[in-house]
A and B are shown apart, each in its own frame.
Chain A
Amino acid sequence: MPTDQYLQGQLAKFLVRTQAITALCILLALAGLDFFFPTNYHLQAGIHGISSISALVLGTYLTHRAYALIRGVHINFHSLRYWLMGATAINFLGALSGNWIYMRYRGQDGPKDWILANVPAFHNYLMEFKEFVSLFPFPLMLAGSFILFYYGDAIRERRDLTQLVGILILLAWLFLLLGFVAGLTLAKLRFV
């Protein structure tokens, strides 16, 4: 490979990584700054926000791996297993912290009371949908992780099973995005 081409390749790799890290840090600030909001519930808000954004970013990254699984091209299953397991753990944290912040959402003079008094449809339709579908990504990702660990590298022989894992990842991402947008909308409407 000519030296120029090699250097340009290295530069592109460096820029791709820098872009990804910068995007992640800036996106995390979206929820990380919640820690400094003037509310008694800044800890719940910050942890739920950080875990939700991390879950969405990880889930989005995994969709790229999912397409490789669905197409049936060469996959590093060892790495994928651990990425998916990590995403499953972050999703669990997202659901757990979601439960924690949901307490205040329903608390006296909390967001639920305000929303019901002013724009009830946002609670009756959006929140009643969001609080349940936000629980979906964790079991979907756990099932995907289980399948990858249970079958090991031998799963290469079964395209139908690798495709199933790819579809589980895509589904988890879809519900993550739905939950994220709904959650962010509700937080914008009335913060805890």
Chain B
Amino acid sequence: MSEFQSPEEQSKLESTEQETLFSGPAIAATVSLLLGFYTLMITHHISRLSKEMDKFIHSYGYWIPGSTGVGPDGSIGSYAGKEALALLVWGLSWTIFHLLWRKQDISVRGWLPIFLGGLLLVSLAFIHPIIDPFILLLIDVFG
């Protein structure tokens, strides 16, 4: 198509492209943080299933200062692993989605209700009396 355009038309097209704001990077920033929050929630409930699972989740956070230790000074325990995995998912997904969507315009108004609903759900999933019946149901179904 461009071979039939005059230089003026081409430069006009280029400047319009430069001025266009793509919402993709903003969506990538918010999708990824939500994925990070869900990672926190899922790893938290996995760690509650058994001591072995708690140790498994914990192992991802051994590099975090204060992640291990006993006595009065304590340690943050498997919380370190949950944070580490959430950071990993957040950072990786942000990078990937940013690269994929940096030249794409995605509907912000369409994304907002999903984002807010997702945040509400993940927050409720941290309230044990609300989420525990669902977890028990999942254990029943999948063994």
Contact = CB atoms under 8 A, between A and B. Distances in A.
Interface of A: 40, 99-100, 102-110, 124-125, 128-129, 131-133, 135-136, 139-140, 142-143, 146-147, 150-151, 154-155, 157-158, 160-161, 163-164, 167-168, 171, 175
Given A160-B109, A164-B112, A102 B79 contact: yes
Contacts of A109: 72
B108 A164 contact: yes
B76 A102 contact: yes
A168 B129 CA distance: 28
Contacts of A40: 72
Q: For chain B, which range describes its interface: under 10, 10 to 19, 20 to 34, or 35 or more residues?
A: 35 or more
27 contacts: A99-B66, A102-B79, A103-B69, A103-B74, A104-B74, A106-B74, A106-B76, A106-B77, A107-B71, A108-B70, A108-B71, A108-B72, A109-B72, A110-B72, A110-B74, A128-B44, A133-B123, A136-B37, A140-B33, A146-B25, A146-B29, A150-B26, A154-B21, A157-B21, A167-B116, A168-B30, A171-B119
Interface of B: 19, 21, 23, 25-26, 29-30, 33, 36-37, 40-41, 44, 64, 66, 69-77, 79, 83, 86, 90, 108-109, 112, 116, 119, 123, 126-129
